[in-house]
Amino acid sequence: MSSEQYFPGLEGVIAGETAISTITGGLEYRGYGITDLAEQSTFPEVAYLLLHDDLPNEEQLADFKAILDESAEVDGAIIDLLRAIPLHVGAMDVLRTGISALGHFDPQVDENTTSANIAKTIRLLAQIPILIAARHRLRQGLSLVLPDPGLSFAANLLFLITGKAPTPVQERAMDVSLILYAEHEFNASTFTARVVTSTQSDLYSAIVAAVGALKGPLHGGANERVLEVLEEVASPGNAERWVRQALASKRKIMGFGHRVYKDGDPRAVILRNYCIELARKAGDDSLERIADTLERVVREEKRLPPNLDWPSARLYKYLGLEVDLYTPLFVASRVVGWAAHVIEQTENNRLIRPRSKYTGPATRAYVPLDERG
C-alpha cells in the first residue's frame, strides 16, 4: 500500500510560507486585523502595507498617492486595442489582454528586483482602473473620462466608470470593498501567480495568469452569479419558497460556504453593513430582505454561512455598476496582493512542482503498429 497521501484540491495542504496574510484565527494583513483595516484605513494605505510590510506614515502615504496619480495614464495604442476587441468578448477576457499589453509598454518589464516589481505594481494599480473603465465606456458608446487627481483611489475608480463623482457613502463603501478583496493568502489565483513566478517568469506574466484563474465562477466570478440569483428571486415574498425549492433540487447557490472559513467569512459581515446603509440611502431594501431570507434558510438547512461574494454583489448593484464589472473590480484590488506574493516568491524562490497520483493503466508491453488489431 502506498504511503503517499493525496488531498484533492490540495485541501489543507501547507504549500509554502508567507508573511503577507493569514486566515488563522481571522484574516490579517501583515499582522493587522481586517476589521481594524476596514474601519480605519484606506485602500492606498493597505496597498502600501502589502507592498512595504507596514502601514505608511503621512509622508509615505502622500508620496505613494502622488506616484499613483502620476502613473494613471495608459498608452493610446492600448486603448485602441480595447476598442478593436469585439463587443461580445467578456470584460475579464479584455482586462486580461489589456494587462498583458501594459507589460509591452513598461520600461521595467524584465527587471525582477524588489524595487522594480513594486514600481510595476504601483503602475498596475493606477492603470487597471483605466482599462476597466475604458472598455466599459467604449462598449456603451460613451466618451472616456480622465482620472481626477483630486479624488481618492476609490472615488476615481467609480468616477472613471460612471462619469460622476460618488457620494461620500458610495466612496467609502467602494474603498472598504477594495480593502477586503486585496489579499487572501494562498487562494487559487494567488497560488497561480506564485507558480508562474517560481519559474522565474516576470510579474506581468504572473498577474495575467492570476486573472485567468480569478475569472472562474468558483473563484472571482462567483459574485456575478450571486446577483443572478437575487434577480431570479425577484421579490422578498418569493425568497423563502425559491430557496427551499433550490435546496430541495440540490442547486448550488453561489455566495455561501468557504474552503477555509467554516464559521463564517469576517469580510462578509463587514460589507453587509455597507449594503444596509446604501439600500437605506436608495430607499429600497428589497434586495436586503431577499438576501436575509436566503441567508437564514441556507444557514438553517446547510449550515453554510455567506462569503464575501454574497454582500459584494449587492454592494456593486447599489453603486450602479453593471454585473460584468464585478470581477474586474476584484482585479483592481487583488492585483496588489498578487504582486506582494510575486515579490515574496521571488525573494525566496523554489520552483513549485508537486507530484500527482497516477490513475492510468499499469505498465504495458509496446505493440508495434503492424501488429495492432
Catalytic residues: 258, 309
Burial class (CB in 10 A: 0-12, 13-18, 19+), 323: middle
Task: Please report, in angstroms and rounded to a whole number, the separation of the first and last CA atoms in the chain.
Answer: 35
281: Cα separation from own chain's centroid: 27
- Best CA proximity match to 18, nearest among 258, 343, 295, 289: 343
Which residues 6+ apart lie within 8 Å of 317 measured at CB?
Answer: 227, 230, 287
CA–CA separation, 23 and 261 (whole Å)? 8
User: Is residue 35 within 8 Å of residue 266, measured between CB atoms?
Assistant: yes
CA–CA separation, 14 and 36 (whole Å)? 27
User: Is residue 344 within 8 Å of residue 19, measured between CB atoms?
Assistant: yes
Question: For residue 31, what is its C-alpha cell?
Answer: 499582522
Return the bridge partners of 21, or none.
29
Total residue length of the chain: 373
CA–CA separation, 98 and 9 (whole Å)? 30
3-state DSSP assignment of residue 16: coil
